Amino acid sequence: MSFADIAALTLHDVKNRLAQLAGRAEARGDLDTLHETIDASNALTRLLTYYRSDVGTLTLDIDAHAPAELAAELIDDTCIRGRRRIDLDCSQAPTLWFYDETVVRMVLANAVQNAARYARARIVIEVAERSGFLEFLVRDDGHGYRQEVLDDATGVTAQVTRNGTGLGLRLARRIAEMHQNAGQQGEIRLDNDGGAVFRLLLPK
């Protein structure tokens, strides 16, 4: 068994232990520990997903989903955790779109988590159909991305999430590009406009 395989199995084991810790924290009403444990578990899930994409075992389960419902669920989760004010605009969202909801949810949850960490007071989530793509936009009113992050088109710089290894953005780019249809593929776009702006584009 290779080191990578052993590491993957170990990550699974750690995730199970974190789930047990989360359960105990919830039972005693320790919400801070519960949320930190969930965040740690989510980080391991992203790492496992990245590993699967790296070794070619990650496949997408494409089906019809309601993008506006996904965005609303992300807001509910973030609001429960007592973070910044979040506004949602789905006025231009399509009723249905085809994508893998599990991995798209993972990408967007990480983007919202980052926005909540750096926002001063407000986060905006927009869902819209633009030029044949579904666009999920997450905007915060913080300091924005560093210039070296914006200049890196491939997402290989060391700290592209503004806090850590950049795994979340690397995985986001990989998942976006795996969504392909009719010669088009998804992509991630980053820019600054009164704060950091994260866009996930998925082809029709």
pLDDT digits (tens, 9 = 90+) for 13-58: 888 888 898 889 888 988 788 878 888 888 888 888 988 888 888 9
| DSSP output for the chain | --HHHHHHHHHHHHHHHHHHHHHHHHHTT-HHHHHHHHHHHHHHHHHHHHHHHHTT------EEE-HHHHHHHHHHHHHHTT-SEEEEEEEE--S-EEE-HHHHHHHHHHHHHHHHHH-SSEEEEEEEEETTEEEEEEEESSS---HHHHH-SS--STTTTSSSS-HHHHHHHHHHHH-EETTEE-EEEEEESSSEEEEEEEE-
Q: Tens of pLDDT along 82-102?
A: 557 889 999 999 999 999 999
Model confidence pLDDT, tens digit, residues 140-166 = 999 999 888 888 755 555 444 444 557
Q: What is the pLDDT of residue 82?
A: 53
The model's pTM is: 0.84
In this prediction, residue 161 carries a pLDDT of 42
